[in-house]
Structure 1
Amino acid sequence: MRPALQPGSGPVAAATYLPSTPDNVLWGRLPCATDEPALTVEPGTAVTLDTVSHEGILEDQGRDPATFFGRHGVTEVLDDAVALAASAHPHRFGVDGPHVVSRPVAVHGARVGDLLAMTVLDTTPRVPYGVISNRHGKGALAGEHPLGGAPVFSAFAAVSDDGGHGLLPLTPGAPATVRFPLRPFLGIMGVAVPGSVRPHSVPPGRHGGNLDIALLTTGSTLYLPVQVDGALAYVGDPHFAQGDGEVSLTAMEASLRATVRFDVVPREDALTRFGELVGPLAETTEHLVPTGLDEDLDLAVAACVRAAVALLQARFGMDPSLAYAYLSAATDFRISQVVDVVKGVHATIRKADFGS
């Protein structure tokens, strides 16, 4: 098993680095306007941020990652995970969310009405293992799983020797023979909300947050409407892999060292490129990815379709009726996740269809 990428050790891609010490993270809540930034950077700055997965440190897993992972033969766990679990960090299990997120990064010159562009430049796994869990009353099959009424089921997933696949057994205790590709990404990318109340880390919204869009891998960009001056951006909820839907409550959750570039898109430019965004918008090398969010999945789909029509109008001057027809013929609408209270849908509009 490969060694863990401990805080401050190994490659750090950017000149600016934010380790995930207990003082540098929030646990279960997202930043708001009154939070002091951990860093202030100029637009265009890349920052390398260590992230810590919540799996293995939560109270229903013992809040003791060395013991939890030791049961699976792991001899080295992350020092920052151990430090956070052992700290007096004010995490209220069952009240706060589970996720560990960075304290905010302020971006100089970002103003309300602008867009913050967060481009993922690198996602380096910090450990050679991860956890996929389900908890009582959660997930797409709440009431059916975990089997036997257990409060939590945690599946330990190893990483293959080539580092490209996750490994699971067919039955508990059997050798890990099921292989699936790893596509690391950050489940949480967001900006601070106005006011002095930190949002719960689970439901996503206009601020981004726990979007769990598996397309947000290296090379992708997330655009978010700036809600407070400086944007106060943050990341967390690292994944090694996730299927669209994330039906079991979590996917393969595991800690990453992520490098993200922060850019500001002024309001005038944003309106020309994207129209009036009412929520998060992603972009990959191949796709424009508008989103829809609602507790009702039908309404989330409808919101995503409206966002896609508005985007095609603004970006390409397309007639809305023709845009609606095009989306039906040519665009996949995917379920981002169904397990975060507010359900997510994202569309994949091929840029090549428009000569882009």
Structure 2
Amino acid sequence: MDYELRARPDTCHWGYFDNQLDPVLRVESGSVVRVECLSHRAGDAPDLMMNDTVLAVYESLNYDERGPGGHIVTGPIAVKGAMPGDTLECRLLGVEYPLPYGSNLAAKWGWLYTQGETPLKTSEYVTIYKIDGDAAIPVFQYPWPSGRNSRKGDLIFPEDVTRLPCTSYRVPLRPHLGICGVAPKMRGKVSTIPPGVFGGNVDNRHFMPGTAMYYPVQVPEAMVFMGDTHLAEGDGEVSGTAIEGHLTVLVQLALHRQWTVPGPVLETDEAWMVHGFGETLDKAMTDTLERSLRFLKSRGLDEAEGYALLSAGGDFQITQVVNSIKGIHAVIPKKLFNHDTKE
């Protein structure tokens, strides 16, 4: 580890990216950084999901100035020498769990809220999970209390609600960064909710230890933010949130100057995943397909070859449907290529 970035009131921001912020850390390409990331849902069970570090950030970030998004992000980290046109690699090397609890909010921005034919159409509720070995188990639920803000980290104490027991089941832990990316081009506060070409709230559950996400640098020194850490998530994130929990992550940040990506691209041992976005799933599908063709062109395939390859050997999966902008990612197996180099 070359650097450590603690979560403090002066290193965390609630609900926005801003390319005009001064960096809280400046690193060289290739550096390994240990970063503390805090969940914006700790207020759902402050007796279980808050320690002194979390409480200090919650108490210090002005409630009225939180937003326009709903996430806590740590950063920005400046990468020396990074310029627009470069690609930034964020390789996730490992994670630690500062506290063994997480929260899922079935939220008013979830897929079934205001639609469908179930009681979920008009209700929000919280499920608190506890880490148990390699899984998370539900501990209790409660309906979200009327008049409280589910975006700004309101503290819901045990006496404020009736905590109801849950049916027992186990969700395998899949720890990952829901938010990571470079600062967007747009000046001023940019909401953390919709993802974009810069990355941000991509919410790909596959961004786990041992994988790397690549982002096209938008501004000088890249200005990297990360947060919205998850203990587990399913494709779609249909209720509006994952199992949201604090993670301390170990990442390596590296620049690539001779290789350009068309947007966030995840690399696993087996595949490349190219992300696209849109106001509807149809538009997200088109965007993902077009970005995938550009990615394949960088690997030597023309559009006709790439289109055929994606139809015959690629898989398109829903990343999430709840971040205002919908997300789809193309899974392109590495075994489709004779070799795998970034030249």
Q: Distance in 2 between matches of 1:171 and 1:132?
A: 9
Q: Contact 1:134 / 1:146 at 8 angstroms: preserved in 2?
A: no
Q: Distance in 2 between matches of 1:49 and 1:69?
A: 22
TM-score by length of 2: 0.86
RMSD of aligned Cα (Å): 2.1
Q: Distance in 2 between matches of 1:294 and 1:215?
A: 20
User: Which one of 314, 330, 334 corresponds to residue 317 of structure 2?
Assistant: 334
Cα shift at 1:176: 5.3
Q: Which amino acid aligns with 2:137?
A: L
1:119 aligns with 2:106: no
Q: Distance in 1 between matches of 2:228 and 2:172?
A: 19
1:143 aligns with 2:114: yes
Q: Which amino acid aligns with 1:249?
A: G
Query: How do 1:51-200 residues align onto structure 2 when only pairs under 5 Å count?
Result: 51-57=37-43, 61=44, 68-70=45-47, 74=48, 77-89=50-62, 91-92=64-65, 95-136=67-108, 138-143=109-114, 147=120, 149-150=122-123, 152-160=124-132, 162=133, 164-168=134-138, 173-174=164-165, 177-194=168-185, 196-200=187-191
Cα shift at 1:122: 0.9
Q: Secondary structure at the match of 1:270?
A: coil
Q: Which amino acid aligns with 1:239?
A: H
Ranges in structure 1 where 5+ consecutive residues have no aligned partner: 1-13, 62-67, 272-276
Q: Secondary structure at the match of 2:209?
A: coil
Cα shift at 1:111: 0.9
Distance 1:298 1:342, change over 3 A: same
Distance 1:88 1:219, change over 3 A: closer
Equivalent residue, structure 2, for 1:42: 28
Q: Secondary structure at the match of 1:336?
A: strand
Q: Distance in 2 between matches of 1:246 and 1:289?
A: 18
Q: Distance in 2 between matches of 1:348 and 1:165?
A: 26
Q: Distance in 2 between matches of 1:146 and 1:18?
A: 43
Equivalent residue, structure 1, for 2:209: 218
Q: Distance in 2 between matches of 1:153 and 1:213?
A: 23
Equivalent residue, structure 2, for 1:293: 277
TM-score by length of 1: 0.83
Quote the sequence identity (%).
Answer: 34
Q: How many residues align?
A: 316
Q: Distance in 1 between matches of 2:228 and 2:284?
A: 22
Note the alpha carbon deviations across 1:302-350, whole angstroms, 9 max, x for none. 11112222222221x2242232222122221111100001111111111
